[in-house]
């Protein structure tokens, strides 16, 4: 069966972020990807210069209307990431709700991009829209620790807190929650980051069970752009293949990330030369070169079931 994703994310001419980070890996894994570009920029905003256009909520609506008029608005997944505009985000929610009425099995994968390390990097007024409108219609969400805390109003300082926060997020709507990174102390030493996942599964007898996992991921000393977008796309793909096995889906997803990042960092250092910090251009994800790892990642980290 054909599996079709509507991905509403940013687009860059040069490099990998948003739809550029998500489309190729999903297509490699056999998904049809229909992209709506929320912005079209020359490159990501970590460069010294960037130019481009931003899609408005009305323009998003026009594009969706075109798809609808041709009766090709049947999707299995919707994928969204970084947005700076509340009316755009509210239009996304309207589209998701309409698509879910047409296909009640549609899965909405949302990276609720609000900020990191204690500070927001989107306007404050997006927070209530995510909390009250977006998360309730989402099925899979991928917040970092700061975003998970912001959405639930609860701090995470222990593993128990992380589990409670994921349970609160489940109550808000999504059946699958992955906290992509946290400040909790890793068991493998300070060169690792701790991530958590939780999945509510409906059993054949109608009861619900929850699988929770913890996974430790090697830290990398560099700033990458587009990794969150790749992560959400890979989680979409691997939860599709392992719908009731979050442990395997997360191991595959985090392993893909590891391979792409390692390939990128070694290329960047090679290009920059000894003792020099790589530039944003040199740190663009080595996506095409990682095709084999995306298709069949060697598992390099193991999740622990909590």
Known catalytic residues are 229
Q: Which residues contact 34 (CB under 8 A, 6 or more apart)?
A: 4, 5, 6, 7, 67, 75
CA gap 1, 183 in Å, rounded: 41
CA gap 119, 66 in Å, rounded: 38
Q: What are phi and psi of 214, to 5 degrees?
A: -130, 140
DSSP string, 67-125: HHHTT----SEEEE-----HHHHHHHHHHHHHHHHH-TT-EEEE----EETTEESS-TT
Beta strands in the chain (DSSP E): 4-12, 32-41, 52-54, 77-80, 107-110, 115-116, 119-120, 140-141, 176-182, 192-202, 208-218, 304-305
* Contact assessment for residue 166 and residue 158, using Cβ atoms and an 8 Å cutoff: no
Bridge partners for 199 per DSSP: 176, 211
């Amino acid at each position: 069966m054909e599996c079709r994703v509507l991905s509403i994310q940013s687009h860059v001419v040069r490099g990998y972020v948003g739809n550029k980070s998500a489309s190729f890996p999903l297509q490699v894994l056999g998904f049809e990807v229909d992209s709506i570009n929320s912005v079209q920029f020359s490159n990501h905003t970590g460069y010294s210069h960037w130019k481009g256009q931003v899609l408005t909520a009305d323009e998003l609506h026009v594009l969706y209307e075109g798809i609808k008029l041709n009766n090709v608005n049947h999707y299995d997944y919707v994928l969204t990431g970084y947005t700076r505009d509340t009316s755009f985000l509210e239009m996304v929610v309207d589209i998701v709700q309409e698509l879910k009425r047409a296909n009640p099995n549609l899965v909405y994968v949302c990276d609720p991009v609000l900020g990191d390390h204690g500070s927001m990097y989107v306007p404050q007024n997006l927070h209530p829209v995510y909390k009250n409108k977006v998360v309730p219609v989402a099925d899979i969400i991928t917040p970092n620790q700061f975003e998970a805390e912001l959405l639930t109003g609860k701090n995470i300082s222990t593993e128990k807190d992380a589990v409670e926060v994921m349970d609160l997020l489940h109550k808000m709507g999504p059946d699958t929650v992955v906290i992509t990174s946290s400040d909790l102390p890793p068991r493998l030493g300070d060169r690792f980051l701790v991530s958590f996942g939780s999945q509510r599964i409906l059993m054949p007898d109608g009861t619900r069970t929850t699988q929770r996992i913890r996974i430790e991921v090697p830290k990398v000393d560099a700033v990458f752009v587009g990794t969150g977008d790749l992560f959400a796309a890979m989680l979409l793909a691997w939860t599709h293949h392992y719908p009731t096995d979050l442990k395997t889906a997360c191991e595959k997803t985090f392993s893909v990330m590891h391979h792409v990042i390692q390939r990128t960092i070694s290329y960047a250092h090679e290009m920059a030369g000894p003792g020099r910090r790589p530039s944003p251009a040199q740190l663009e994800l080595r996506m095409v070169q990682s095709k084999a790892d995306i298709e069949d990642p060697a598992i390099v980290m193991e999740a622990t079931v909590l």
